[in-house]
Structure 1
Amino acid sequence: MRINSPLGQVLLVGFVCFACPGMFNVINGMGAGGQMDDNTAKNGNVALYSCFAVFGCLGGGFYNILGGRLCLCLGGLTYALYSGSLLYYNETKKPAFVIIASAILGVGAGILWTAQGVVMMSYPAEDQKGRCVGLFWILFNLGGVMGAFIPFGLNFHSDKGAVSNSTYLAFLVIMILGALLGLILLPPGKVIRDDGSRVVVKKFTNIGAPTGSTPIQFGAVNGVLFNLRTRSLNNALYWGSQMLGAYGLGAFLDNPRFGRRARAVYGLAIVGAIFSATWAGGLALQLQYTREDHPSNIDFIDHPSEFWPKFILYIFYGMCDAMLQTYAYWVMGALSNDSSVLARYAGYYKGIQSAGAAIAWRIDAVGTAFLTQLIINWGLFTLSLPFTYFVAREVKETCNDGAEEKGEVADKE
């Protein structure tokens, strides 16, 4: 594999996201950022995703000015700042720095995911987009898998509810290294596809920010039911299930046995069926406890009968999340090969998603019942299915209409 191939560049960005957003997901997945005071982390997430919603839509302008390398590096360093703020909180119990660092992370993550979106959706050829999305998601979530074993190992014999300083130091170092890795991203004009054509990336003004994980998964299940070492183990396998979901659906969406429109419709049916079944399982679990009265400190060794049903549901939550993201990116990539058009699609999709995440974390922070949160999530997902079907019907067999002819290449790096 050539480093100057689209796949090589997608994998490079995947390693950056492995180290930066991947490690952030580990922290978030432990429930309340691993902290005993979960309101600090929840309010931080509100600040974070509020900034996502704004700066995700402005990310294209930053990309035009800074280029992909600096977007990845500077955006990645804001993840390290966030991890450092949690280390500071662990020592002082003062929440202000966490909230400020979360807001700065919202800005930086919007910039980082702008570069990620350009590379993942614009660089690959049409018949490789599903594969590239799936491989990126595998690398990205591999960060979550490996990173989750850090607190699992460091806190295996700990009875404390909060994560140790050594855990945050490990995350901090990994995030800094990942941010620096972004500096070796190639300019678009130096990326050559297998057919010899060069990647064309036009300047644009709008692209997205990353997805916010829903509080119902992290807060209402993993964050409140299990002890720290079990939360960490669940976290690792949650991101592992995302790798399986992304790879499996990505392979199907690139399967030449079906036309692209058929793959879009069948893919939606697969995602809808698995997601609905998982939400039904979540409802069955949620009816067993409330925010005020719930099991706690369940351990995967000491309480196996209580652990396994909840663990399996949590794994399906992870798989569904990755399948949804893979499907969304593939459909957007199948609607056009024009980077400026894809930027607008991604910006609307991710901007709305980040705003929704900010609202979701705020709903959780004010103490809304877990059951109410689940019903809202399931209802909104179900409501989206018919609208997504109409979009899937618009997918054409090819978008090669001259959009990739030779022209001005944005080599700003």
Structure 2
Amino acid sequence: MSSSADIKDTSIERGSSTKQDHDERDVVEQTVKPVSKFTRWYRSPLFNVIIVGLISFTQPGIWNALNNTGAGGQQEPYLVNGANSLTFGIMVFGCSLFGILANKIGIKTVLIIGTLGYAPYSASLYVNNRYGTEWFVLFGGATCGIAASALWASEGAIALGYGDVKDRGKFTGIWLGLRELGQLIGASITLSLNVDSQTRGKVGYSTYLVLIALQCLGLPLALLISPPHKVIRSNGERLRGPLSSKKKVLLKDEFRKIWKLFKRREMFLLVPILIGFQWNGTYLGIYMTKYFSVRSRALGSLTSGIAATFANIFWGWFYDLKILKRPALAKICWALFIVVMLASFGWQVANEKLYSSTVPRTTLDWDLPGFGRGFASMVILRFFNESHYMFVYWLIGTFFDDLETLTLAVGIVRSFESIGSCIAFGIGASQVSPMVNLVIAFAMFGLTIPATSFVVFLVPERPVHLRKIEDGSSSEGETEPVAASKTAAAIDGPHP
């Protein structure tokens, strides 16, 4: 059995004949005392990503379940779209701000804040559904905006930054896949409670009570997350950087860093796709409300969740394949997205024209002919919306390696996503025709293609450690840990 001193000596002997070699290979902080296998599992990136996924399941997952029934389950979409516009308006500034605060007060603290505002929003929908109260829906939209800003800024950074580069596709798939579990369970509950409602209208108010109870589980789950400096990777590595140490962080420095990060080509060229890709989500909520029966809307929410879960599982597996280099993989996936999305939008325009011109007014129910056509186009768009999430976060993970930069990058990504969603829900609340909303979404996607294509051609084979580059050190992202096997032995403790 080796003592902690022996391990330190071994790592020095194997890893750094000179101080320069030691710096270039980015030796991580190593433990000085053994820990149990349970502690190593509890502190592992995989466990933390699973917990983040479950938190996402209870918060935005349930939010998605409600909104994918069409306008939060309401009979008319305009009040809910207005509240959602308020939510995303707050997030435009909140996501970047909480990304900066995560480097100041800790990513776990920010995550906990992110679990406090979703339940009031769902409660407001219940009160509105049952008693017709409208101001509470706007208040809930505000609390949801603050919480979502914190949650979105922290959960993505944990999913991307806690694990190794080689596992980022898998971890992103786990995180987003568990988020969709919220939609699956929520939609199943909604469908079971509204299965006999064959007409258009709003879902039963008892639906909200179950979903609110699920959202209250987010806070205790957040308490299980390990702060970065306690995370132990499978090879014994510890995370480094301001997020994983006691180093004092100045807010003015973080603002400077986020602005400097945004000015990099791979970041500001993503702005069009972040703003424009998800505009069809607002249209789909209106589409479901206008043309589908209550039970078909609940079925649509469930089926959308299944499609999104499959997207997360598939792309999480596909992005980690070693068959193709990362630059080639990025080009192939983006070309596929362009072709399928343009075709799907064209199909949806044809559907919208058909249903909007039908007299008497169309009500699509699964017992009626023509249901499959209108339903399938919606599911395909939902699938590729989720694929977009996976693709954007995978792109960010291909460019940057250190947790501090990833946290700031996720804040930027979420802020610009929120700009698009805020404007889209604002248009959705203005009672313009569904066709106008759809055409705008179609045009916005077309505008994202040139800039995103340029970013795709910038994808490197290995991400960079931006903080090391700024400090004048090595720029290689995927470094080998020094004496990883010895470190792992120290963490596990003595073996017989």
- Counterpart of 1:59 in structure 2 is 98
Counterpart CA distance in 2 for 1:293 and 1:394 is 51
- Counterpart of 1:216 in structure 2 is 283
CA contact (8 A) 2:399 2:463 kept: yes
SS of the aligned residue for 2:163 comes to coil
Please report the TM-score for the alignment, with normalisation by the length of structure 1: 0.90
SS of the aligned residue for 2:355 comes to coil
Q: Answer yes or no: is 1:168 the counterpart of 2:213.
A: no
Change (3 A) 1:12 1:212: farther
Measured against aligned partners, the alpha-carbon deviations of 1:259-297 in whole angstroms (never above 9, x if no partner) come to 111111112112222222211211221221339978443
Tell me which moved more, 327-336 or 115-124.
Answer: 115-124
Counterpart AA for 2:399: L
Q: Answer yes or no: is 1:102 the counterpart of 2:141.
A: yes
Counterpart CA distance in 2 for 1:389 and 1:230 is 37
Q: 1:375 aligns with which of 416, 431, 439?
A: 439
CA contact (8 A) 1:16 1:72 kept: no
- Counterpart of 2:57 in structure 1 is 18
Shift of 1:255: 1.4
Counting matched residue pairs gives 403
- Counterpart of 1:269 in structure 2 is 335
Counterpart CA distance in 2 for 1:157 and 1:42 is 26
CA contact (8 A) 1:212 1:354 kept: no
Tell me which moved more, 241-250 or 227-236.
Answer: 241-250
- Counterpart of 2:381 in structure 1 is 317
Q: 1:361 aligns with which of 422, 425, 429?
A: 425
- Counterpart of 1:48 in structure 2 is 87
CA contact (8 A) 2:89 2:145 kept: yes
Counterpart CA distance in 2 for 1:179 and 1:296 is 43
Give 5+ residue unaligned stretches, structure 1. 407-413
1:186-201 equivalence runs, <5 A: 186-201=226-241
CA contact (8 A) 1:150 1:167 kept: yes
Give 5+ residue unaligned stretches, structure 2. 1-39, 244-253, 263-270, 465-474, 482-496
Counterpart CA distance in 2 for 1:181 and 1:292 is 49
CA contact (8 A) 2:78 2:428 kept: no
- Counterpart of 2:323 in structure 1 is 257
Change (3 A) 1:66 1:148: farther
- Counterpart of 1:388 in structure 2 is 452
- Counterpart of 2:167 in structure 1 is 128
Counterpart AA for 1:188: P
- Counterpart of 2:292 in structure 1 is 226
- Counterpart of 2:351 in structure 1 is 285
Counterpart CA distance in 2 for 1:250 and 1:265 is 17
Tell me which moved more, 96-105 or 210-219.
Answer: 210-219
Measured against aligned partners, the alpha-carbon deviations of 1:342-369 in whole angstroms (never above 9, x if no partner) come to 2333233221111111111111211222
CA contact (8 A) 2:68 2:301 kept: yes
- Counterpart of 2:219 in structure 1 is 179
- Counterpart of 1:28 in structure 2 is 67
Give me the CA root mean square deviation.
2.5
Counterpart CA distance in 2 for 1:65 and 1:118 is 14
Counterpart CA distance in 2 for 1:256 and 1:327 is 17
Tell me which moved more, 177-186 or 312-321.
Answer: 177-186
Change (3 A) 1:39 1:380: closer
Counterpart AA for 1:219: I
Please report the TM-score for the alignment, with normalisation by the length of structure 2: 0.76
Counterpart CA distance in 1 for 2:376 and 2:178 is 22
Measured against aligned partners, the alpha-carbon deviations of 1:95-120 in whole angstroms (never above 9, x if no partner) come to 11110110111011110111102101
- Counterpart of 1:77 in structure 2 is 116
CA contact (8 A) 1:227 1:298 kept: yes
Counterpart AA for 1:109: A
Counterpart AA for 1:171: L
Tell me which moved more, 62-71 or 208-217.
Answer: 208-217
Rg comparison, structure with higher value: 2
Q: 1:145 aligns with which of 169, 184, 196?
A: 184
Q: 1:114 aligns with which of 153, 157, 174?
A: 153
SS of the aligned residue for 2:354 comes to coil
Q: Answer yes or no: is 1:202 the counterpart of 2:242.
A: yes
SS of the aligned residue for 1:267 comes to helix
- Counterpart of 2:47 in structure 1 is 8
Q: 1:244 aligns with which of 295, 306, 310?
A: 310
Counterpart CA distance in 2 for 1:249 and 1:174 is 27
1:293-372 equivalence runs, <5 A: 295-300=361-366, 302-303=367-368, 305-372=369-436
Shift of 1:404: 8.1
SS of the aligned residue for 1:396 comes to coil
CA contact (8 A) 2:45 2:163 kept: yes
Tell me which moved more, 335-344 or 353-362.
Answer: 335-344
Counterpart CA distance in 2 for 1:394 and 1:294 is 52
SS of the aligned residue for 1:196 comes to coil
Tell me which moved more, 291-300 or 355-364.
Answer: 291-300
- Counterpart of 2:29 in structure 1 is none
Shift of 1:378: 1.8
Measured against aligned partners, the alpha-carbon deviations of 1:221-270 in whole angstroms (never above 9, x if no partner) come to x2211111110011011011011122222322221111111111112112
Change (3 A) 1:20 1:351: same
Shift of 1:199: 2.2
Counterpart CA distance in 2 for 1:132 and 1:121 is 7
